[in-house]
Structure 1
Amino acid sequence: MTDYTLYIIIALVVIFLFSAIRILREYERGVIFTLGRFWKVKGPGFIIVVPLIQQMVRVDLRIIVMDVPSQDVISQDNVSVHVNAVVYFRVVDPEKAIIQVEDYYSATSQLAQTTLRSVLGQHELDEMLSERDKLNADIQRILDEQTDAWGIKVNNVEIKHVDLDDSMIRAIAKQAEAERVRRAKIIHAEGERQAANELANASEILAKQPSALQLRYMQTLTEIAGDKTNTIVFPLPMDMLETLTNAIKK
């Protein structure tokens, strides 16, 4: 064997060793296939993959943030809205994520879109706007149950935007304005009721103490005297008017 042949053999061995060495980061795992059959999940760190016999598929175990495109949803009260969301998920079983589904990211994305439309279509518009936490929890639970067979764990789902048509925005504004007017009328009526109750209580107290009525009369005269107007309204107590009326009749 010549030196040239020996160098070629050494070079081939070195190339073989370098091609067999794999370094996986802490958040990565390698799904190893031997002659096409699943063997085991390796990593992280230094691993060896036999060339031509074994193949490795890298899987990232970090949380993936997936944006769900805007979906056209018809609410239960027949209102058309555009809704988009964001899904947080991660791979917890690399073997299932590679073997059970062709592309787990694409599969999770499509499932999230259909689930978003299905869940929101069962609720009215007011619930979409005011009960987002409940809707997020419902979507997250359904996605987590259906992706469990793929080795996927859905950690959280957040509805980002609920976009309405201009006509619906104007209708909601009118509804909000009418609601504010209704509340203002109720508050005004409640104030009138409370004022009437207080006046009734005050009249009862004044009826029990005639001197208090005279003091109130004098206070009213004092307030009128301080008014810088040409016309002075001079109030007369009702009991004085009754006395004058009785005197005239006699």
Structure 2
Amino acid sequence: MGIFAELAFYLVVILVLLLVIASAIKILREYERGVVFTLGRFTGVKGPGLILLIPYVQQMIRVDLRTRVLDVPGQDVISHDNVSVRVSAVIYFRVIDPERSTIQVEDFMAATSQLAQTTLRSVLGKHDLDEMLAERDKLNSDIQEILDAQTDAWGIKVANVEIKHVDINESMVRAIARQAEAERERRAKVINAEGEQQAAAKLLEAAEILARQPEAMQLRYLSTLNVIAGEKSSTIIFPFPMEFGNLMPVRSDPSSQSSRG
């Protein structure tokens, strides 16, 4: 019985040692860092690779350094021109300082999400609806700069912000469609008026050139008749040029000559 008791004791000791060694050895991947606390006090950041800890004296919190994607839920926003829209976005960020992301904030994911929602509403509320639809790159940059400045104290780097959807109610969609149609009609009228203005200027220039030589008007007239004659169903009327009347001889009246004699 004494031998079996000793063997059992040794087995228990070996088992305890194995458990202690297993709890002391930690392996961190390349994208992970370990924030180590010794008796509750921060003592450093370790990793990646093999980490040895003192069991029950040191604790380690794993921090993932890879880029994370945060989907910001749809937010009801009233634009600067009093239009109600619903906007959703996505944020790309990563931890650059494991110490601050662990000590300075309890849950950096939840904190970044809430901050992104409030920043999205405040920034978009300063812009008109047309700017939300046409200048998304500028708005994304503005939101990213504000978030990056505020999350820097948490050891968070906001890499990019993208506005995904800007949802508008049906009545506003119809109003925007009518506005776009009116804008297209206005542009068409302006283009038509500009064309008439340019055509009138060219006609005036052509008239001034033709007025310098009367023969040029006759040549232009004949070339126009040549074009019309190309159509088989055309009827051409030749008006009598007034210039030809000045070239014809004037006959004298015989009766007037006899009376004079």
TM-score, normalization: structure 1? 0.90
**Change in 2 beyond 3 A, CA 1:241/1:26:** farther
| Distance in 2, Cα, partners of 1:239 & 1:128 | 69
CA distance in 2: counterparts of 1:241 and 1:173, whole angstroms: 63
The 1:44–1:216 alpha-carbon spacing in structure 2 relative to 1, beyond 3 Å, is same
Q: Report whether the alignment pairs 1:203 with 2:176.
A: no
> In 2 relative to 1, CA 193–94 (structure 1 residues): closer, same or farther, beyond 3 Å?
same
Q: How many residues are matched?
A: 243
Q: Summarize deviations over 1:199-218 as a string: whole Å, max 9, x none.
A: 11111111112221111122
RMSD: 2.1
Higher mean alpha-carbon deviation, 172-181 vs 107-116, is at 172-181
| Per-residue Cα deviation, 1:33-84 (whole angstroms, up to 9, x for no partner) | 1222222111111001222222111100111111111111000000011111
Paired residues of 1:128 and 1:135 also in contact (CA < 8 A): yes
Q: Name the CA distance, whole Å, in 2 between partners of 1:204 and 1:78.
A: 57
Among candidates 72, 90, 95, match of residue 91 of structure 1: 95
Shifted more, 198-207 versus 221-230: the winner is: 221-230
Q: Give the Cα–Cα distance (whole angstroms) in 2 for the partners of residues 190 and 237 of structure 1.
A: 37
Report deviation, 1:237: 7.6
In the alignment, is the contact (CA less than 8 A) between 1:79 and 1:125 conserved in 2? Answer: yes
- DSSP 3-state at the match of 2:200: helix
Deviates more, 1:129-138 or 1:113-122: 129-138
Deviations 1:61-114 (A, max 9, x none): 111111111111000000011111111111111111111111000000000000
Residues 60, 221 of structure 1: alpha-carbon distance in 2 compared, 3 angstrom cutoff: same
Contact 1:221 1:234 in 2 (8 A): no
- Corresponding position of 1:175: 179
User: Aligned letter for 1:111?
Assistant: L
The alignment partner of 1:29 has SS state of strand
Q: Give the CA deviation at 1:181.
A: 0.8
Q: Is the 8 A contact 2:101 2:108 kept in 1?
A: yes
Are 1:57 and 2:68 counterparts? no
Q: How has the CA–CA distance of structure 1 residues 242 and 174 changed in structure 2, closer, same or farther, with 3 Å as cutoff?
A: farther
Letter of the 2:124 partner, please give it.
L
TM-score (normalised: structure 2) = 0.87
- Provide Cα deviations, 1:171-227, integer angstroms capped at 9, x if missing partner: 111111111111111111111111111111111111112221111122233334444
Q: Which has the larger radius of gyration?
A: 2
| Contact 2:34 2:60 survives alignment (8 Å) | yes
Equivalent residue, structure 2, for 1:103: 107
Question: Within 2, Cα distance between the matches of 1:197 and 1:236?
Answer: 28
Unaligned stretches of 5+ residues in structure 1: 244-250
SS of equivalent to 2:210: helix
Residue number in structure 2 paired with 1:129: 133
> Residues 4 and 242 (structure 1 numbering): CA distance in 2 closer, same or farther, change over 3 Å?
farther
Is 1:217–1:237's contact at 8 Å kept on the other side of the alignment?
Answer: no
Percent of aligned positions that are identical = 64
Equivalent position of 2:12 in the other structure: 8
Q: Judging changes above 3 Å, is the alpha-carbon distance between structure 1 residues 166 and 237 closer, same or farther for their aligned structure 2 residues?
A: farther
**CA distance change for structure 1 residues 66 and 2 in 2, over 3 Å: closer, same or farther?**
same
Unaligned runs of 5+ in 2: 247-261
Q: Does 1:115 align with 2:119?
A: yes
Query: Counterpart of 1:74?
Result: 78
Deviation at 1:162, TM superposition (A): 1.0
Find the aligned partners of 1:242 and 1:41 in 2 and give their Cα distance.
Answer: 112
Q: Which position in structure 2 is the counterpart of 1:156?
A: 160
Distance 1:175 1:238 in 2: 55
* Residue 237 of structure 2 corresponds to residue 234 of structure 1: yes
